[in-house]
């Protein structure tokens, strides 16, 4: 294992085509597949559990090839029974297995909420630390696929609200791998949030055992004029906007939260104390969302440094419609972010 | 078809038949007397412990919800007599007796009820959440049906670490009659069937889910038949008879142990009190209460042992006095135990330490200013 201080930290290099150097360029999907294969190989207690992950190779092909390689006991297809198989993974974890559960999409996790919130999150603490629950629940969320209201949600706040869970939301292929390795080796239940629109994105992913640290945000791009705080898909949008605005002389710092619980408030506040301006880009609905928590954090940790109110760019608060025009209108995108950044800068008389 | 529907309706309306009114029961000749006396002592301990818990609750020594095993003593003792130390147990929230019969000191169980740091779950779980990894009691669970998927998964884990056989580890998962109506019950049984898991689901049918009768709540009120959708064999036994419970549990556990297949056991009993200590059970008829009292397993076993010449009145009183003394000692231990310190509030927040883990008390800042 090589100790690389930036292991798993998203950088712009991780989001762009590499220019012929040695670090492989792979998709987010492949990074997840590589991490699962590595852990199945490394630890015989790791098992994969979920609907259609074996013979069908996963609804989004994250588990492609793994059934053939590891067999039906290690890569276990389940009936359609989210409450049942998520809970079964909890019990298996209590006896020392390390299940990695795939819920086909985040939307179906609602059926398993009793097991996730009332059981996975409680068992270690409520029974006085006697039995950890080392498990991972992977699931993709996100809109933009014309899947309509019930199949397009971003419910990260539901999980991030709950003590006892760890919640990560990687933005890049490198982070997807490094955080999945960390999640599988962690002794607590980890909610691992993927986003449908990220699966085909490519980035540099170091070979080998780069294990990220859960609970730490990263400065994905340094800047001086304004901080954009984001996670998952929103981080990729924020970095794209930062590059675009750099061309017109605006220096954006991008903080990628990576971990939604625990939340690295110090990194967020340190960045905003430097830039004095903050915009949150988030894919969840606005009210009570991640941005609300970040804003409250900045009120407490950077109030005297702020030159303008913190603004949030979040999804419109409607059940997401199917029609493309309506879907596009509802979801936050680069143009929305640029508009808000410009408004915030204008409020301070930028350029100063 | 209509005829069948009428038959089903008739069956639903029919009240569940009480066990035959008996004042004594005979014992098989090959049943060692010491063992029978041991079962009686255990049942008396549970009875005395639960009566004491009821008192302690009313004195506000115990908070929250408190559900008692009163009337279920023969079930708890019979099931635990069949379960091996190498087996795992998951139960619902009516769990005090199971903790005692798994071998936990009554003082530690009472201390958990008192919310003390010496409690089996260090005072963090309370009445509904007894847990001890050493004796493989993997919880008391307060959410109805919540224990079923994890218990099923524990059985799944066992398939990775051993072969079927007389020494195989298995899981027992206890639940109440009302739980057979929840989705988690059906999903769990289905998983156990398709994955061939070594688990025994034990339905303690005390005929009431809080105030709702089994007949009003279950489309198939003969609950042991509810496994048939999953080809899981079911058996119903008299839960007021400790030997019937133990033997039924052994048959089911053997199937799990030797064949690695799930089984469903239904044990019939009566709740002697309300759903919990604060429930006066006004919804019960006096006839129903009389039936329940007539089926009280503790005096029934006492009278049976005396009739069989295995116990006399003086000895019986000694058993009862011993139980009283153990329960009094448990209360004294719990009373004398320290409360958990607020400084320990965030202990066990996570099993793997993590940066930025929350640690703020109400009103404390969450960010350190430079």
What domains appear along chain A, each with residue ranges and CATH number?
Answer: 26-204 (3.40.50.970), 218-347 (3.40.50.920)
Q: Do B154 and A91 count as a contact with CB atoms less than 8 A apart? A: yes
Tell me: the pLDDT tens digits for B139-160?
Answer: 999 999 999 999 999 999 999 9
pLDDT of residue A6: 36
Chain A contact present for B201, CB below 8 A: no
DSSP designation for B235: E
Cα separation, B89 vs B130, in Å, equals: 11
pLDDT recorded at residue B13: 41
Q: What is the pLDDT of residue A20?
A: 52
* Mean pLDDT calculated for residue range B18-37: 85
pLDDT of A152: 95
How far A311 CA sits from the closest chain B CA (Å)?
20
Please tell me the distance in Å from A284's CA to the nearest CA on chain B: 23
DSSP B359: -
Q: Is the pLDDT of residue B195 over 70?
A: yes
Rounded Cα distance between B123 and B130, Å, is: 10
pLDDT (tens digit per residue) in A92-139 = 999 999 999 999 999 999 999 999 999 999 999 999 999 999 999 999
What's residue B336's pLDDT?
Answer: 98
Q: Record the pTM.
A: 0.93
pLDDT, average across residues B244-259: 98
Q: What is the ipTM of this complex?
A: 0.93
* Over residues B350-363, mean pLDDT: 97
pLDDT at site A351: 76
* pLDDT computed for residue B183 by the predictor: 98
Give the 3-state secondary structure of residue A268. Answer: helix
Chain A residues inside the 8 Å CB shell of B168: none
pLDDT at B370: 85
- Contact at CB, B370 and A273, closer than 8 angstroms: yes
Q: Give the DSSP H or E segment for B152.
A: helix B148-158
Residue A305 contacts B where some CB pair is shorter than 8 Å? no
In chain A, residues 151-170 whose CB comes closer than 8 Å to chain B: 163-164, 166
Residue B8's region, left for phi above 0, alpha for psi from -120 to 50, else beta, is alpha
Q: Higher pLDDT residue, B11 or B263?
A: B263
| pLDDT at position B22 | 64
- Total residues found in chain A within this entry: 352
Strands A259-261, A166-168: pairing kind? antiparallel
Q: CB contact, 8 Å: A343 with chain B? A: no
What percentage of chain A's residues is helix, strand, coil (to nearest 5)?
40, 20, 40
Nearest to B171 by CA among B147, B205, B142: B147
Residue whose C-alpha is closest to residue A47's, from A68, A72, A65 = A72
The residue whose two tokens read 């804003």 is A295
Q: Chain-centre distance of CA A248, in angstroms?
A: 30
Q: With a cut of 70, which residues of chain A have pLDDT below it?
A: 1-21, 352
Interface of A with B in 208-267 (CB under 8 A): 213-216, 259, 262-266
- Structural domains in chain B, CATH included, are 32-344 (3.40.50.970)
Name the helix (H) or strand (E) containing B215: helix B214-217
d(CA A21, CA A128): 50
Mean pLDDT of the region B180-207: 98
Confidence band, pLDDT 50/70/90 cuts, at residue B266: very high
Query: In angstroms, how far is the first alpha carbon of chain B from the final one?
Result: 78
Q: pLDDT value at position A128? A: 98
Residue A151 designated active-site: yes
Q: Which of B149, B154, B353, B355 to mutate to test the interface with A (most CBs of A within 10 A)?
A: B149
Greatest extent of chain A over all pairs of C-alpha atoms, in Å: 63
What single string gives the DSSP state of each residue in A292-345? HHHHHHHHHHSGGG-SS--EEEEE-SSPPPSSHHHHHHHS--HHHHHHHHHHHH
Residue A303, Cβ neighbours under 10 Å: how many? 11
**Nearest CA-CA distance, residue B291 and chain A, Å:** 37
- Please give the average per-residue pLDDT across B190-219, as a whole number: 96
In angstroms, the Cα distances linking B357 to A164, A167, A175, A215, B351 are 10, 12, 20, 7, 12
Q: Per residue in A335-346, is it b (16+ CB within 10 Å) or e — as a string?
A: eebeebbeebbe
Give the pLDDT of residue B369: 86
Answer whether A127 touches B (CB < 8 Å): yes
Spell out a b/e string for A94-118, using b for 16 or more CB atoms within 10 Å of the CB, else e. Answer: bbebbbbbbbbbbbbbebbbbbbbb
Active-site entry in A82, A194, A253, A327: A82
- Provide the pLDDT for residue B21: 53
Quote the pLDDT of residue B69: 96
Residues of chain A positioned with their CB less than 8 A from the CB of B187: 79, 81, 83-85
What is the Cα–Cα distance from A139 to A195, expressed in whole angstroms? 8
Q: A131 in contact with B at a CB cutoff of 8 Å?
A: yes
For chain B, say whether A100 makes contact (Cβ under 8 Å).
no
What average pLDDT does the segment B326-341 reach?
98
């Amino acid at each position: 294992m090589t100790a690389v201080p930036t292991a798993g930290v998203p950088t712009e290099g991780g989001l762009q085509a590499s220019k012929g150097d040695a670090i492989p360029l792979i998709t987010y999907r492949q990074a997840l597949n590589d991490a699962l294969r590595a852990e199945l190989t490394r630890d015989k207690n790791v098992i994969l559990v979920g609907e259609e992950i074996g013979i069908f190779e996963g609804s989004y092909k994250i588990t492609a090839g793994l059934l053939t390689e590891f067999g039906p006991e290690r890569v276990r297809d389940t009936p359609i029974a989210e409450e049942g198989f998520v809970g079964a993974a909890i019990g298996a974890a209590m006896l020392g297995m390390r299940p990695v559960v795939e819920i086909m999409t985040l939307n179906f996790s609602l059926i398993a909420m009793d097991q996730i919130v009332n059981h996975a999150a409680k068992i270690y603490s409520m029974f006085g630390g006697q039995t950890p629950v080392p498990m991972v629940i992977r699931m993709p969320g996100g809109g933009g696929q014309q899947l309509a209201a019930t199949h397009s949600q971003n419910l990260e706040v539901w999980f991030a609200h709950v003590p006892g869970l760890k919640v990560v939301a990687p933005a890049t292929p490198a982070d997807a791998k490094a955080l999945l390795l960390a999640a599988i080796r962690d002794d607590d239940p980890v909610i691992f949030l993927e986003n449908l629109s990220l699966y085909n994105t490519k980035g540099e992913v170091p070979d080998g055992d780069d294990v990220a640290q859960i609970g730490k945000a990263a400065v994905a791009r340094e800047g001086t004029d304004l901080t954009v705080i984001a996670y998952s898909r929103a981080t990729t949008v924020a970095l794209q906007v930062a590059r675009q605005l750099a061309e017109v002389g605006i220096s954006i710092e991008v903080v990628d939260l990576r971990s939604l619980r625990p939340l690295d408030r110090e990194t967020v506040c340190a960045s905003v104390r430097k830039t004095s301006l903050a915009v949150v880009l988030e894919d969840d609905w606005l009210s009570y969302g991640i941005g609300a928590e970040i804003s409250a954090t900045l009120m407490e940790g950077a109030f005297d440094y702020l030159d303008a109110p913190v603004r949030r760019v979040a999804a419109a608060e409607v059940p997401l419609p199917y029609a493309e025009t309506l879907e596009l209108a509802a979801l936050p995108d680069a143009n929305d972010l640029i508009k808000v950044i410009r408004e915030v800068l204008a409020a301070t008389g930028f350029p100063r | 078809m209509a005829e069948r529907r009428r038959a089903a309706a008739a069956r639903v309306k029919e009240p569940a038949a009480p066990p035959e009114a008996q004042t004594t029961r005979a014992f098989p000749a090959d049943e060692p007397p010491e063992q029978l006396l041991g079962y009686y002592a255990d049942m008396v301990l549970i009875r005395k412990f639960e009566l004491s818990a009821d008192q302690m609750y009313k004195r506000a020594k115990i908070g929250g919800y408190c559900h008692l095993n009163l009337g279920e003593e023969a079930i708890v003792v019979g099931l635990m007599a069949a379960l091996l130390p190498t087996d795992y147990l998951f139960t619902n929230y009516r769990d005090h007796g199971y903790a005692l019969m798994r071998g936990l000191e009554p003082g530690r169980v009472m201390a958990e009820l008192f919310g003390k740091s010496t409690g089996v779950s260090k005072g963090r779980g309370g009445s509904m959440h007894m847990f001890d990894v050493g004796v493989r009691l993997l919880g008391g669970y307060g959410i109805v049906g919540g224990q079923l998927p994890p218990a099923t998964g524990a059985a799944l884990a066992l398939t990775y670490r051993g072969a079927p056989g007389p020494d195989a580890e298995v899981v027992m998962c206890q639940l109440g009659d009302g739980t057979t109506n929840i989705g988690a019950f059906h999903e769990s049984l289905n998983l156990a069937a398709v994955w061939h898991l070594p688990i025994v689901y034990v339905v303690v049918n005390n005929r009431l889910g809080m105030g709702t009768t089994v007949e009003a709540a279950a489309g198939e009120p003969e609950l042991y038949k509810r496994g048939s959708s999953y080809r899981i064999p079911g058996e119903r036994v008299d839960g007021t008879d400790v030997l019937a419970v133990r033997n039924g549990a052994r048959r089911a556990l053997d199937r799990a142990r030797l064949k690695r297949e799930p089984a469903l056991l239904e044990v019939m009993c009566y709740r002697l009190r309300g759903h919990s200590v604060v429930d006066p059970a006004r919804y019960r008829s006096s006839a129903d209460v009389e039936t329940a009292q007539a089926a009280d397993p503790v005096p029934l076993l006492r009278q049976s042992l005396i009739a069989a010449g295995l116990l006399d009145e003086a000895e019986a009183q000694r058993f009862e006095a011993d139980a009283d003394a153990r329960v009094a000692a448990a209360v004294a231990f719990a009373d004398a135990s320290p409360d958990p310190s607020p400084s320990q509030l965030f202990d066990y927040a996570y099993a793997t330490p993590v940066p930025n883990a929350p640690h703020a008390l109400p009103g404390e800042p969450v960010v350190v200013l430079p």
